[in-house]
Structure 1
Amino acid sequence: MERVVGTTVRGLRGPIINKGDNLEEIVVDTVINAAKVEGFSIEDRDIVTITESIVARAQGNYASIDDIATDVKTKFGDDTVGVIFPILSRNRFAICLRGIARGLKKVVLMLSYPSDEVGNHLITIDELDEKGINPWTDVLTEAEFRQHFGFNKHTFTGVDYIEYYKSLIEAEGATCEVIFSNNAKTILDYTKNVLTCDIHTRFRTKRILTNNGAEKVYGLDDILKESINGSGYNEEYGLLGSNKSTDDSVKLFPHQCQRLVDGIQAKVKELTGKTIEVMVYGDGAFKDPVGKIWELADPVVSPAFTAGLEGTPNEVKLKYLADNNFSHLRGEELTKAISEFIENKDEDLVGAMESQGTTPRRLTDLIGSLSDLTSGSGDKGTPMVYIQGYFDNYTK
């Protein structure tokens, strides 16, 4: 019988994961059991994705505020430190800021505006226009910012992040000065010692600071690169990708995940004879059109994946073929012509008109976004996602 369904995505329910659990075994058992209960067959090139959260939980990759403070204190001593370009997030950054402040005596907090790196807005662009302020050139003090814009609460959280972050720093015993600028060099007028907290632009920011006279430059990816007093750590990303666990601890981004995804692939092959693809995923990469927030607060969408997920899609646009190459055909003739075109398409369609409008993103970023939207971040209880037919096309 002809197939009438393409890609199918299933959120899989599994047990609550705790430190020390054998996640490889749990994922394999969950997939095999889901196939049996739901009546689907496991096929070659199916994909199972696992949220980074349960990987880190199984690894026990946690650290306390005191661990963060110890590392920051070791790196900066008693220096005044510029903490620049943090995202505005209670879950992602606020608890890290408490640890950072606990390790310092004075903080100059420099916020980007009108929004942070991932789209959380302090103010709107329209408000900047009304006040005649250029965010690329104008540096504002806290008093100047308040004079122009007053007190603004975040659309979704109801938090005034300027007041909130300043209060967190001062509650840890450090003094705090707040400024607003989008130019990394601005902070060097206040201190030569900087902790840059941006995610995707961090390498550029570090380079600019180093080339313009900064004496000590670290990023969040340099904090907790190694274990502090037995804490968790991430040798590649440090605090990046971490989020709140308890009031006094963070769950770090998982590390050394390649063995896990390869092991799951091998075990499923052993049990079923099928070669599936496996990846660990964090935040997807998509923008909320209302809140203007980009979801991607993790350093990467996927920290580990099996080899079959390398690369980008190599697809043609069906509507382009129907409207152009085969506009003179209808019905079965059109179906046959498009199917033959797909079966004989070039292995690399970059630049070809037939591929115009297809998504030029890495497979792992696309599949990670699909998985993140499927599993959600709340109480769905589906930390694993099973995807079938993703690599199929119109001819299959």
Structure 2
Amino acid sequence: MENFSLPTATGVAAIGLKTGLIFPNDDIAAITTEAVKSFVEDKDIICVTEAVVARSQNRYISCSDLAEDIQKKLNLKPKSTLAVISPIASRNRFALVLKALAMATRGGKVIVQLSMPLDEVGNQVMDEEFATTRIRLKKVLKSLREARENTPQLNVLIREIIAALKLQELGYNILSIRKITGTGIADLTVRTPEGKLAVAEVTFANLEKAKKKAIEIKQDVDGAEQAMVIAVDLGHHKIVMADAETTDEAKTYDFGPQLESYHDPDVVYINELENIKFSHPITGIDYRDLYIEMIESGDAEGEVLFTNNPLKVYDRGYINGVCISAVHERDKLKELFTSFGAMVPVLTLQDIGPGPWGVIGSNVSDFEKGVLKLLPGDADGTAENIKAKIREVSGKDVEVLIFGDGAYKDPDTGIYEMADPHPAIGVSSGLKSAALRTGSKLKLQVDTLYNQGYSREEIGNMLKNKQDKITKESLGTTPRSVTSIVATLADLVAGSADAGTPIVLVRGFQYSRAN
């Protein structure tokens, strides 16, 4: 790329640049300068991934050192109970942090509150349909229980909700509950774990009578392949299920252990899930299992709560400390706990480990040895040093940006893959004063002027001379942060796998200074 040049009609261009391997204590300013010196131009933006910057700074911490820091900052005694609030679902980003948190309790307990169905960056924590149906069923159950005192007949509806909750635990998908949803002709219409459409009649005791009715209903439901009967004993907390069309032995289930959990409409507890797994559709990881495993590897007892009300952790007994583990919502959640009157220390991931970011944005360096790589220290200063080095060697005046995760959401996976606090971790002085990027919509201007009868030449001249006052004032673009745009562009170009292009040169990106 010694003779690198772009066509004169080029707008913004971003090119990934390969370097040699970068190790701890390497001179990142010299490496970056060497990579760009032969073709860099004034006003280029040189972007360097935070990963190699942090590595060159030797920014690592072990789980044992992190655990010691956590223990001191939260003042945790042996056998303490620690609440971990709203972490993202990520093996790379959080598993070792969780192990260190568990180690800090010194044989205690860690209660992890996971938001559902997704974490704050879009990772699936629980199947969305399961979560939505589960919470809806439990809310209806709560309403029915509150009204039952004056209307004993509501037990008929309660038994059907209980039956639906138990079927969900067994892997059935609840499609309708006739007396609740007003749809379907069976008490319950479900999809079996094998994918069959099934109808179920629910009774208090008489299975044989219910079998006949279930078979009749099945014949009237298009596509139904199975008829079921379910007897619910509310007094003894037993459920009996049978196939209405076979002589297979009925199965009995005890819902007594889950009853208290059924009565809490804000939380899905582990004892409600039985053998249900929520494997992430892309990674295949069940984060509930992974996080329990990491807690136990830190010699602590683990518990996971699925709830969007973080304060529910207080229902699980005395808490000795709280670690807010969200990335983007950390300050809001910390304020929630402190305003609620927490009498124990409340810290965020930014407060544990070395500054300025703590372990926010950290990722696994060595999983087996329990080592984390942190975000760079003094990223702004590092960017300024790289800028100065490039000017010294090439004579060119550039800006430098150290980038982390890009601020974009993948529409196919639903993941907003931004586990770093900002897309731009550090910037040189010129980018610090960049104004929000705004403008007028060229496509709207051209369409409007064309529809008004102007010719190609007239439209071109009007746009060039900014004479299109009506369209310019009618609709502008959404203001966006210049550094976030450039960092996201760099992250997309660099990739996160094995492209080997930790430096991205951005040319032709126009922006203005803030007043």
Q: TM-score range by the shorter chain?
A: 0.7 to 0.9
- Report the CA distance shift for 1:281/1:334 in structure 2 as closer, same or farther (over 3 A): same
Structure 2 contact 33–393 (Cα < 8 Å) conserved: no
Aligned pair partner of 1:329 in 437, 454, 458 = 454
Aligned to 1:54: 52
- Report the CA distance shift for 1:371/1:137 in structure 2 as closer, same or farther (over 3 A): farther
Aligned to 2:151: none
Which residues in structure 2 correspond to 1:295-306 (within 5 Å)?
295-306=417-428
In 2: Cα distance, 1:359 partner to 1:273 partner: 36
Q: CA RMSD in A?
A: 2.5
Aligned pair partner of 1:175 in 301, 316, 323 = 301
Matched, 1:194 2:326: no
- Report the CA distance shift for 1:324/1:290 in structure 2 as closer, same or farther (over 3 A): same
Structure 1 contact 6–392 (Cα < 8 Å) conserved: no
Aligned pair partner of 1:108 in 105, 111, 130 = 111
Q: C-alpha displacement at 1:390, in angstroms?
A: 1.4
Aligned to 1:276: 398
Structure 1 residue runs without a partner (length 5+): 36-41, 225-232
Structure 1 contact 184–208 (Cα < 8 Å) conserved: no
Equivalent residue of 2:117, what SS? coil
Structure 2 contact 449–459 (Cα < 8 Å) conserved: no
Which residues in structure 2 correspond to 1:4-43 (within 5 Å)?
4-33=9-38, 35=39, 42-43=40-41
Identity %: 35
In 1: Cα distance, 2:7 partner to 2:301 partner: 69
In 2: Cα distance, 1:129 partner to 1:73 partner: 37
Aligned to 2:289: 163
* Code of the aligned partner of 1:15: G
Aligned to 2:439: 315
* Code of the aligned partner of 1:54: V
Equivalent residue of 2:336, what SS? helix
Structure 1 contact 280–302 (Cα < 8 Å) conserved: yes
1:37-66 superposed Cα distances (whole Å, 9 cap, x missing partner)? xxxxx3322111000000100000000010
Equivalent residue of 1:50, what SS? strand
Q: C-alpha displacement at 1:281, in angstroms?
A: 0.3
- Report the CA distance shift for 1:392/1:243 in structure 2 as closer, same or farther (over 3 A): closer
1:194-239 superposed Cα distances (whole Å, 9 cap, x missing partner)? 1110011111111110111212211111111xxxxxxxx2x22100
In 1: Cα distance, 2:138 partner to 2:483 partner: 37
Aligned pair partner of 1:242 in 353, 362, 371 = 362
Which residues in structure 2 correspond to 1:252-263 (within 5 Å)?
252-263=374-385
In 2: Cα distance, 1:130 partner to 1:209 partner: 29
TM-score of the aligned structures, taking structure 1 as reference length: 0.87
**Greater than 4 Å deviation, 4+ residue runs:** 133-137
Aligned to 1:223: 352
TM-score of the aligned structures, taking structure 2 as reference length: 0.67
Matched, 1:203 2:322: no
In 2: Cα distance, 1:182 partner to 1:129 partner: 12
- Report the CA distance shift for 1:275/1:359 in structure 2 as closer, same or farther (over 3 A): farther
Aligned to 1:39: none
Aligned pair partner of 2:491 in 372, 375, 393 = 372
Q: C-alpha displacement at 1:287, in angstroms?
A: 0.9
In 2: Cα distance, 1:72 partner to 1:2 partner: 54
- Report the CA distance shift for 1:82/1:264 in structure 2 as closer, same or farther (over 3 A): same
Q: C-alpha displacement at 1:325, in angstroms?
A: 4.8
Aligned pair partner of 1:293 in 389, 403, 415 = 415
In 2: Cα distance, 1:44 partner to 1:323 partner: 35
* Code of the aligned partner of 2:386: I
Structure 1 contact 80–108 (Cα < 8 Å) conserved: yes
Equivalent residue of 2:323, what SS? strand
In 2: Cα distance, 1:112 partner to 1:173 partner: 25
- Report the CA distance shift for 1:66/1:59 in structure 2 as closer, same or farther (over 3 A): same
In 2: Cα distance, 1:208 partner to 1:296 partner: 23
Matched, 1:361 2:480: yes
Aligned to 1:229: none
In 1: Cα distance, 2:54 partner to 2:7 partner: 42
In 1: Cα distance, 2:365 partner to 2:388 partner: 32
Pick which of 123-132 and 51-60 moved more: 123-132
Matched, 1:99 2:89: no
| Larger Rg computed on CA atoms | 2
